[in-house]
């Protein structure tokens, strides 16, 4: 089999460390990948590139169609946009897939309940359209942009994902009771589109109740589809149920391009210290391997990771069961040493 070319964007803060760690594991597992490294984030902003992603990076993603991305700093100053959001928009990656699954050895107040669902977040519309202005001094307006085709494709993606993963239920979560036209659009389109998938159960839930339900009875969810902003907030909440952002993977999907990334940020406080936990990017890279059809390597690495989390040796400080925790490098070595072993929990 020929090698698949992948654009690798190490990113900011702990990004280069978790990217190195992930590549080491995939290479050791024999993934047939050719990495093309590309720049985005803080350094690009420093060079005066307003989008945070230079032309060569965009070209690389366009050519390869697949990217693995570390966290990018989001400037909070005026006038600069988030490089993350810019990349999603440039390639119209309208679907953000965020699996929420209990992991072995990662104990939380919710452990043992079999949490296993997927947040499908619309990724380019809504308040993220970035249309904001000062109406008059002291009065700021932001536009909540929702389109019918945008709703159709995100619900369609949720249904396709449910079918592909053998899931049974799709929950459409909206604030349609208040925002009748915008959130209401997703509710109405959701009902219509999901009617065409009789093998799937579907339901609508008001999004604040959905947040409550996720904490009270998270095991009830299977696939949850939401507008961009609601999905941003509830996917963080959902990650918190199963161990936090250090272990939360994601995929950004468009029609031509797919970009895989950890949900966490660049964690500048611990950058460069070898403390970062690469699990989130590693799990994201497994979504990537499956996307390009390399199920065997994905499975092999997933088993090794699960065995490592289960046995509890050489875990980084954020997930260590005792002591100060191991370095990123020691954790990676342990995962690599466990390649070939099988976990009953995969
Ligand atoms: C995420 C992040 C991004 C978002 C930021 C970094 C722009 O929080 O991927 O969820 O708001 O979408
Ligand atoms: Mn977020």
From ligand 1's centre to the CA of 232, what distance in Å?
7
Residues 65 and 1 in one domain: yes
Residues 151 and 239 in one domain: yes
ipTM: 0.99
pLDDT at 115: 98
pLDDT at 130: 85
Residues 71 and 143 in one domain: no
As for how many domains the chain has, the answer is: 2
Residues 188 and 212 in one domain: yes
Q: What is the pLDDT of residues 256-284, one digit of tens each?
A: 999 999 999 999 999 999 999 999 999 99
- Mean pLDDT of each 10-residue bin along the chain, 346 residues long: 93 98 98 98 93 96 98 77 92 98 96 97 95 95 97 98 98 98 98 98 98 98 98 98 96 98 96 97 98 97 98 95 95 98 95
Residues 117 and 151 in one domain: yes
Domain termination site, one of 224, 246, 268: 246
From ligand 1's centre to the CA of 158, what distance in Å?
20
Torsion, CA 263, CA 131, CA 94, CA 19, rounded to 10: -30
Range of the domain at 133: 96-246
From ligand 1's centre to the CA of 72, what distance in Å?
10
Q: What is the pLDDT of residues 191-228, one digit of tens each?
A: 999 999 999 999 999 999 999 999 999 999 999 999 99
Which residues are annotated as catalytic? 128, 175, 208, 232
pLDDT at 10: 98
Residues 125 and 233 in one domain: yes
**Is 143 in contact with 131 (CB distance < 8 Å)?**
yes
pLDDT at 263: 94
pLDDT at 74: 82
Residues 196 and 263 in one domain: no
**Is 124 in contact with 88 (CB distance < 8 Å)?**
yes
CB-ligand 1 contact for 284 (6 Å cutoff): no
pLDDT at 14: 98
Residues 289 and 340 in one domain: yes
- Closest atom of ligand 1 relative to the 265 alpha carbon: 6
Domain termination site, one of 246, 278, 311: 246
* pTM for this entry: 0.96
Residues 110 and 215 in one domain: yes
Residues 84 and 115 in one domain: no
CB-ligand 1 contact for 68 (6 Å cutoff): no
Measure the CA–CA gap between 181 and 159, rounded to whole angstroms.
23
Residues 234 and 311 in one domain: no
Torsion, CA 264, CA 265, CA 269, CA 271, rounded to 10: 90
CATH of the domain at 342: 3.40.718.10
Domain termination site, one of 246, 272, 302: 246
Residues 153 and 212 in one domain: yes
Take atom 11 of ligand 1 and give the residue whose Cα is closest: 232
């Amino acid at each position: 089999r020929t090698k698949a070319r992948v654009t690798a964007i190490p990113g900011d803060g702990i990004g280069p460390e978790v990217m190195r760690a992930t590549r080491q594991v995939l290479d050791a597992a024999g993934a047939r990948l050719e990495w093309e490294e590309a720049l985005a984030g803080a350094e690009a902003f420093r060079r005066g590139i307003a989008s945070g992603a230079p032309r060569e990076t965009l070209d690389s993603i366009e050519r390869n169609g697949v990217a693995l991305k570390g966290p990018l700093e989001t400037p909070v100053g005026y006038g600069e946009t988030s490089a993350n959001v810019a990349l999603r928009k440039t390639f119209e990656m309208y679907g953000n897939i965020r699996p929420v699954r209990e992991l072995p050895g990662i104990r939380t107040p919710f452990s043992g309940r079999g949490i296993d669902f997927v947040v499908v977040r619309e990724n380019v519309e809504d308040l993220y359209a970035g249309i904001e202005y000062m109406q008059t001094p002291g009065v700021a307006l932001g536009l909540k942009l929702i389109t019918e085709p945008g709703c159709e494709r995100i619900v369609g993606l949720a249904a396709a994902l449910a079918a592909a993963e053998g899931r049974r239920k799709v929950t459409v979560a909206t604030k349609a009771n208040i925002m009748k036209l915008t959130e209401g659009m997703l509710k109405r389109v959701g009902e219509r589109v999901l009617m065409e998938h009789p093998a799937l159960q579907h339901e609508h839930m008001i999004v604040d109740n959905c947040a409550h339900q996720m904490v009270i009875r998270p095991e009830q969810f299977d696939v949850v589809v939401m507008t961009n902003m609601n999905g941003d907030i509830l996917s963080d909440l959902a990650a918190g149920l199963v161990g936090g952002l250090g272990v939360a993977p994601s995929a950004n999907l468009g029609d031509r391009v797919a970009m895989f990334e950890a949900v966490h940020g660049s964690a500048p406080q611990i950058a460069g210290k070898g403390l970062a936990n690469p699990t989130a990017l590693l799990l994201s890279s497994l979504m990537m391997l499956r996307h390009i059809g390399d199920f065997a390597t994905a499975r092999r690495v997933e088993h090794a990771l699960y065995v490592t989390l289960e046995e509890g040796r050489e875990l980084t400080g954020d997930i260590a069961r005792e002591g100060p925790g191991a370095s990123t490098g020691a954790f990676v070595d342990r995962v690599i040493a466990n390649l070939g072993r099988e976990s009953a929990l995969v």
